[in-house]
A and B are shown apart, each in its own frame.
Chain A
């Protein structure tokens, strides 16, 4: 029975790994092919099946004047916008979540839970509903087609995630911890940043991870709110396509787009495997 279980477990894990890794291997292989190797017949292994070329990668860093599609600038734009928006969202979201978790708010029939739901409800709406309001808003304040404008919009999108995760996290931090800090001589702000916040690092990491993922992969708003001045990576990757689909450079750009998230996943995984996320408070 035990052996069968182990066998099934490993079989499943193997299949799942193949399912996850195969597209990446395929993309890596494709990124080194040329037109001939992609379109003539199915080829897999470099040097045996086809002659590898770096053309697919070179195109990505060559300036448009020399026949390339420079994705370096959009790449760093994306990193800048995502990181800045995530950081601000985490800071504001954590403060909001702490208040929602620790203090009682009353405004008419509105209570703490309603406010928390209000934050989450921002994500329930289909993004397209927000596109026109955002467009008008950004054009009114003159931030259309700018990094700052995108950061503002992304904060609106990411903060609900931070609030939602952190409210739940703070609710699991015993109130006695804050009270003890107050008794030990902290004022409420010190109690928050000296005691509660260090205990909430796992929560902050999870919230940060979600913010970075959702910020990084957004195509819709980047597409609608920017034109020529500023471009983000997802928009640029889509713009690579032309009448002849350049599978090689699409594959290469897909790989480098995913790379930062893979790094984030490895960092977070270390915390997950240490058990720091689940058992932080017991």
Chain B
């Protein structure tokens, strides 16, 4: 258990190149002791590289890593006392389930009693107790992944447990339970958990703090609520939430309002200092309501599709070239043809060069 500081870290896989491409652009970040973090981003955005830098499998091209203020940048993995679980099950084929779980403790010379106690506790949590004496290779893929997970959790004194999409191969029901187990383990042992995923629901339900990454860049760190309501870039707006945020090309018309298709929309953002008048307006479909008649901040649009999801209805409407999506209560009566959509000013996000104002 430790506070993990990443200070000015950057990494490239081709350092000898005069113009190297960076898998991770320079960033600094602190992972507080005992908290749960989720790293969220599309494939190839540098999530795994970040984990490997923390665990020591990859040495960063630049920057420092501190565990509780101790510089561990030049320490090898073995000396860092960290646990990491990979996306696909990695088990020691030649050993039994028990020996697999005990291996990290045996490598660090724990006493026999301690090993037995820890293996028992972890195998109970993961429901592996009845398989302990079986050869690990005989288990199914998701059971094997539980072994990998168990090896990550068996040491109580680790600086942190890093998980790289660990639940990909596990069936949905068990996935849900395991996520809750991981939360319990975190609360019980105050282990710092870092969880890489590309599934936003997984990230949102698991973590205290979410780190959103794109193309080697950390675009936003925050609580699930912040990411949802105030995405810092249009990328976060697209990436988080289903459906993605509505984003419209627009033009600044006055200090607090923008124009879309010549319709004036008031926002709560102060736009008086903006030089470039071309901006983007972002609004979540959850916040767009159907209005009875035209008025301030309403848009008249042609309803093209209504999808009933059971608990809500998703409306798709066209206004010129713009497509607007709105999530409404499923009880709401919807008439065909033109509808008026109300855009609340306090929920509007204005983006200039894809960044939030």
Contact = CB atoms under 8 A, between A and B. Distances in A.
A199 B93 contact: yes
Contact of A185 (B55, B88, B108): B108
Interface of B: 55-57, 76-78, 81-84, 86, 88, 90, 92-94, 103-104, 107-108, 148, 151
Say whether chain A's binding surface is mostly helix, strand, loop, or mixed: helix
A153 interface: no
A205 to B, nearest CB: 14
A204 to B, nearest CB: 13
Interface stretch (A37-45, A59-67, A71-79, A175-183): A175-183
28 contacts: A174-B90, A176-B86, A177-B92, A179-B57, A179-B84, A179-B86, A180-B90, A180-B151, A181-B92, A182-B56, A182-B57, A182-B77, A183-B55, A183-B57, A183-B82, A183-B83, A183-B84, A184-B151, A185-B81, A185-B107, A185-B108, A188-B76, A198-B92, A198-B94, A199-B92, A199-B93, A280-B93, A281-B93
A174 B91 CA distance: 11
A40 B151 CA distance: 76
Nearest to B107: A185
Nearest to A195: B92
A70 to B, nearest CB: 45
Nearest to A177: B90
Say whether chain B's binding surface is mostly helix, strand, loop, or mixed: loop
Interface residues of A, number: 20
Interface of A: 174, 176-177, 179-188, 190, 195, 198-199, 201, 280-281
Contacts of A182: 56-57, 76-78
Given A185-B107, A185-B108, A187-B78, A180 B93 contact: no
A138 to B, nearest CB: 41
B88 A176 contact: yes
A157 B86 CA distance: 40
B21 to A, nearest CB: 18
B107 A184 contact: yes
Contacts of A185: 78, 81, 104, 107-108
B107 A186 contact: yes
Contacts of B93: 198-199, 280-281
Contact of B90 (A176, A186, A187, A201): A176
Closest 9 CB pairs of A and B: A185-B107, A184-B104, A198-B94, A182-B77, A176-B90, A180-B90, A185-B108, A183-B84, A176-B86
Contacts of B108: 185
B352 to A, nearest CB: 43
A199 B94 contact: yes
Contacts of A181: 92
Highest count of chain B CB atoms <10 Å: which of A176, A177, A183: A183
A182 B56 CA distance: 9
Contacts of B94: 198-199, 201
